[in-house]
Chain A
Amino acid sequence: MKNQMWRNDLLAGMFLLPFFLIYVVFTIFPIFKGLQMSFYDWSLIEQGAFAGFSQYTALFTDPGFWQSLWNTTLFVILSTPGMIILALVLALLANINAGPKLRTFLRGSYFIPSILSVSVISYIAIFMLQPYSGIVNNMLNTFGYEGQVYWLANPALAWLSIVGVTLWWTVGFNFILFLTSLQNIPDMFYEAAEIDGATRWQMFKNITLPQLIPISRVIFLLQVLASFKVFAQILLITDGGPGKSTRPLIQYIYEMGFEQYDLGYAAAMSYVLFFILLIFSVIQIRSGGQGRMI
């Protein structure tokens, strides 16, 4: 019996080992290596002198760091509400009893953009938003607007474009989470309400919304974390421009590390971002009360 258990453990261990090795090499090890790097002058190819906290103190007086951190925060502020509200609205629409065919179509069309890669959606966006020949400007012209809108050349419009594209691209994931949660609300709640003579709005307000609160917290946290990590679509659509007005923190980290070969400083900035996210997550989990996160 004991022998059998030992063998089971071994078997489980062997199945876990390949993933565990990859996890250690590509996730755990870089985390600690990054921390070490942040305390050294470290070029792209070699380790330099010990720098102590000097990289961290340098951050505070670096306008590039503050500007890109603000840009990232701005993206979080601009994208998160839309990402949650739109996902909820779409999920409610897809949950309406409107015949199986329409339902499948709606669910599919909301989710399909999420499976496209970031380079594909970015190039579609650039193509559509081009002045003179892009479809967006051509449509505006058809509807009577004269002249050209320079979507990616004006900071405010560039943000609008980036947030809009991201919304279209990733809202499907939140939508699926909301939809699953909607389907998990027991029918008996609605049946009981119907017997009591509740209107549809009352049912929505007093049953649906409260039942969605736990998942909303999860979505909110995941969304904020995801938005803080914004990088690829901005790099590809505006390259941080016009000027530096849309350059997010991760792009600045990338530029410092891989274009200016200052990996130590880049690592220090990565850790600052990590701590911001950590603090945010702890506050969020604490405020949610025990056991309500999952």
Chain B
Amino acid sequence: MKKTVFAGMVLLFTAAGCQSQDAGSSTETGPVEVEMWSLFSGGDQAYMQSLIDGFNESQKKYEVVMPALSAADDHYTKVVTSVAANRGPDLAVAHASIIPEFYNLGLTKPIDGPAEAAGLNLTEVNENILNRLTMKDGNVHSYPIDTHPTVMFFNKTVLDEAGLLTESGEVDMKETPEGFIDFYKRAQEALPDTIPLAVPSVGYDAFTSWWAFYYQMGGTDIYSDDLQEPTVTLDTETAVEAAEYMKSLFHEEGIIPKNITDPYEQFQTDRALSLMTGVWGTGIWETDESFEFIAQPIPTLFEEPATYGDSHTLFIPEQKSTTDEKTAGAAAFMNYLHENQAQWAKAGHIPANDEAVASEAFQEMPYRSDYADVVEDVEQPSGTIYSNMSIDVMMRNLDEIWAGRVTPEEGIRSMEQELDELVK
């Protein structure tokens, strides 16, 4: 008999252990907890944490908490599944390019109302970005905190050593396709052991560089601007041409060594002269006081200035567990970020709040003002539900071109085909 009772107890405890626990609910007396999930890493994460700390100290009503970060790769999958299961965060970070996809899945709450109630004036946000976040229903579905374009970084010490600085301390490069290559040839001659341009032959940086050249050559948008049923409007000829130029930097010209894995470290330890990457580089390298670098827009080698860029935004998931109270808390935090975007710019980004860009606090920061105007030339992925998925498709196909396994024509054709299949 005793045994039966014991077994029964084991069972009871097991069942109790299986019961779900409601995480993150607020207590009666304390502040309302607003849980935020982010995809930041490194410097970005630290700057965001300090803003959260500032918000929590500035008032007693709400408390924003940011649990341990997840890798950027599965952040979106986690957000989608958890919100669908009504167990998501009250506030989530997402790139502007994925917001149409989330809106289409019914995951985002319009923020116009809550923002207004919190005293956040959305008209102060950069119009271009705000338009991208205004969905079919006429409402804004996410609050942008920045733009992060791809720019160029030069190691000043190495530049100086190679004699590639002008007398006024600027990069001595002629902004033409030949001038660009010539600049790096001179670098190679002066310092044969230094990497002229450090771009990994797989992934994001090379993709964004191709994107910049494609738009500089006058390329059209990848997709038509239809939310659910876009068509592929890629300008094949220009895409091939841009890919040919980019490929020549890896191959014929030998300016970018193949298969480098850690360009940031090589750049910071004077083993690389320059690189092309997101503006977050500024936030990373300026913390090293002995390290001198120049940050500037990607040179306009072709007809018109253009670069790749996206924005970090915050959205409030549409789910039962995000109560009105939590929504108000999330909007209050957005308002705090709005007022303190210059502080977020410490991470290297360009504020999405136009007033923050004009502010003295931002203008006085080194480096940023050298590339803040790039915002006007940023070409973002078109506003369709496929934008984010298509980036993977493009990267993969372009990687094949950089590796020399397919010709630029073959690579672009296969990319176009896959993009076409994606939207079908």
Contacts and interface: CB of A to CB of B under 8 A. Distances in A.
Interface in A121-145: 130-133
B8 interface: yes
B398 to A, nearest CB: 10
Contacts of B400: 242-243
14 contacts: A14-B11, A18-B15, A45-B105, A131-B260, A131-B261, A133-B262, A148-B259, A153-B201, A241-B396, A242-B400, A242-B403, A242-B405, A244-B396, A259-B389
B26 interface: no
B84 interface: yes
Chain B contact patch, size range? 20 to 34
Nearest to A46: B84
B7 A14 contact: yes
B4 A150 contact: no
Contacts of B60: none
Nearest to A150: B259
Nearest to B107: A45
Interface string A1-33: 000000100110011011000000000000000
Given A259-B389, A261-B80, A243 B396 contact: yes
A150 B257 CA distance: 12
Closest 5 CB pairs of A and B: A45-B84, A14-B7, A243-B400, A150-B259, A18-B14
Interface string B395-424: 011011001010000000000000000100
Contacts of B403: 153, 242-243
A242 B77 contact: no
Contacts of A44: 77, 80-81, 84, 105
A260 B202 CA distance: 21
Interface in B135-169: none
Interface string B277-291: 000000000000000
Given A153-B201, A243-B403, 12 more contacts: A10-B4, A11-B3, A14-B7, A45-B105, A133-B262, A155-B405, A242-B202, A242-B400, A243-B397, A243-B405, A259-B77, A261-B80
Interface of A: 7, 10-11, 14-15, 17-18, 43-46, 130-133, 148, 150, 153, 155, 241-244, 258-261
Given A150-B258, A243-B400, A11 B7 contact: yes
Contact of A131 (B8, B10, B259, B405): B259
B263 to A, nearest CB: 11
Nearest to A19: B14
Contacts of B11: 14, 17-18
Nearest to A238: B202
A258 B79 CA distance: 11
A216 B8 CA distance: 44
A242 B81 contact: no
Contact of A260 (B107, B389, B396): B389
Nearest to B385: A261
Contacts of A14: 4, 7-8, 10-11
B392 interface: yes
